[in-house]
Structure 1
Amino acid sequence: MMKESMVETEVTYPLERDGKFVLIEQLPARVCSETGEQFFSLKTVEQIHNIINERTAPKKTIEMPVYEFV
């Protein structure tokens, strides 16, 4: 992976905690334009942990369809 292939952008990051899914929007990330792999700074990762551990009220709630892979 070449440094030139990294793009600074904001992403929506899904994660699961205690069997529940959450989305974190407008998360600053470096994204590889070749593979789509996302990289986060240590500060950003710490903020993700704070958001999840504080369990504050979310900005919004969405309904999401669930499919089973058979």
Structure 2
Amino acid sequence: MFQCHVCGSTEAQENLVDEVFRVNGKLFVVEKIPATVCSRCGEVTFSMERAERVRKMLNGDSKPVKSIEVDVFAY
């Protein structure tokens, strides 16, 4: 049973999410990751299997499907 580790809610949806990861100072975007999203606060969690798949992707097991250019702002 789901319980959000941020707000304690027990309600969530399964959604596809895009996440940005930093590996050795380089940014990567992984699109459409199946995730559990808290209905109350929006906290995103991944199953261990999905997290492991993303880790492998980012460490060379996959090639990117595309590259994008992003703007960077200093705060």
TM-score, normalized by the shorter chain, greater than 0.5? yes
Unmatched runs of 5 consecutive residues or more in structure 2: 1-7
1:10-66 CA distance string (max 9 Å, x none): 000111011110010110000012111001001001101110112532101111000
Q: Distance in 1 between matches of 2:61 and 2:48?
A: 20
Q: How does 1:1-70 map to 2 (within 5 A)?
A: 1-3=8-10, 5-54=11-60, 56-69=62-75
Q: CA RMSD in A?
A: 1.2
Large movers: runs of 4+ above 6 Å: none
Q: Distance in 2 between matches of 1:55 and 1:11?
A: 21
Unmatched runs of 5 consecutive residues or more in structure 1: none
Contact 2:9 2:40 in 1 (8 A): no
Q: Distance in 2 between matches of 1:41 and 1:51?
A: 15
Q: Distance in 2 between matches of 1:54 and 1:47?
A: 11
Alignment size in residue pairs? 68
Q: Distance in 1 between matches of 2:61 and 2:53?
A: 13
Q: Distance in 2 between matches of 1:11 and 1:27?
A: 5
